[in-house]
Amino acid sequence: MSADLPVFADIEAAAARIAPYAIRTPLIENAVLNDKLDARVFLKLETLQRTGSFKFRGALNKISQIAPADRAKGVVAFSSGNHAQGVAAAAALFSIPALIVMPKDVPAAKLEGTRSYGAEVVFYDRLRDDREAIARALCEERGATLVRPFDDFDIVAGQGTIGLEIAREAAARGVKLDAVLAPCSGGGVVSGIALAIAAAIPGTRIASVEPENYDGMRRSIAAGRRVAAPGGTPSIADALMAPTPGEIPFALAHRHLTDALAVTDAELTAAVAYAARTLKLIVEPSGTAGLAALLSGRFLSSGKIVVAVLTGANCDFFAVAQACAPTRPI
């Protein structure tokens, strides 16, 4: 399917397309984190993107290309929250009706955010229902455009603009990156970033980071084909629970990923707490996967220059408070 895969030029085109609406998010450095890891660490703050996550980029790139004659029919998406908000916000910019299929147990912050952009929400049960089947049926009923969360040419190209921004910022600072780490679920963001970085900064390591037992990309890279993770008990990283990477993301990742890692919920929780306490950043558990891999030593960064992409900030503050709570009386 190589003819159907995005290339670097598609990411550049997406960057131009979304530039009037998307935020060029900052790449920051923290001296305390650098000292802790004996490395130079940059954090790409997609937590500050519109809607609070990177998902706005891909959704905007996709939705902005819908033909004017088809916009009144609307868009349909399925998502645990960040893609939902990205689609809802992007659709609202073009006055396109949006219907989102969301799990019943979606965090309240993500549900409220999705509805705040005017989207209609239909719920499903994670354990019993097929969300894709529900979304396809709604598309057929309404004649709407399906906006997939990760397995889509334009979505991947849109998410890849993160990698393009990282490469341009590193070049502007005269910095040669050794590695870029990004969270992975279906693989849309990490594969897009990997495509951009491989073209712009050849030789840079690219690592995907997933929750333990939801590490479909790691298992697929090892097997050389798409395979499913075992799943089981839901992860604290609710946005990283796709069991299998998408076809387009895996095809790109198979070419460009150099590392595929998994972290535990305890390591994700520690990263949420470190981000809040030390870095003064609110990051949802899913968004801290790259940081968790660095803090836990899953990725050895000593002496290196690395980037961790913090992909989202749409979490309940109670969850952050729980992560930051002391384990024993002070």
Are residue 67 and residue 147 in the same domain, yes or no?
Answer: yes
Task: Name the domain count of the chain.
Answer: 2
Q: What is the 3-state secondary structure (H, E, C) of 245-306?
A: CCHHHHHHHHHHCCEEEEECHHHHHHHHHHHHHCCCCCCCHHHHHHHHHHHCCCCCCCCCEE
Q: How far apart are CA 268 and CA 179, in angstroms?
A: 20
pTM (2 decimals)?
Answer: 0.94
For residues 174 and 110, state if they share a domain: no
pLDDT digits (tens, 9 = 90+) for 265-308: 999 999 999 999 999 999 999 999 999 999 999 999 999 999 99
Reply yes or no on whether the pLDDT at 327 is more than 80: no
* pLDDT bracket for residue 330 (50, 70, 90): very low
CB neighbourhood size of 213 (10 A): 18
My answer on whether 162 and 302 are in the same domain is: yes
Q: Tell which residue, 237, 202, 245, 195, has the closest CA to residue 220.
A: 245
Residues 6+ apart with CB under 8 A from 330: none
Q: For the chain, give the number of residues.
A: 330
Alpha carbon distance, N-terminus to C-terminus of the chain: 57
Local structure of residue 312 (DSSP, 8 states)? B
Residue where a domain terminates, one of 151, 182, 210: 151
What is the average per-residue pLDDT within 127-141?
94
Sign of the torsion angle spanned by Cα atoms 246, 249, 255, 259:
negative
Note whether residue 225 is domain-resident.
Answer: yes
Domain that holds residue 77: 56-151
Is residue 330 in some structural domain?
Answer: no
Q: Do 204 and 272 have their domain in common?
A: yes
DSSP characters over 5-21: S--HHHHHHHHHHHTTT
Q: How confident is the model at residue 329 (pLDDT cuts 50, 70, 90)?
A: very low
| Domain shared by 14 and 32, yes or no | yes
| Pairing status of strand 179-183 against strand 145-146 | unpaired
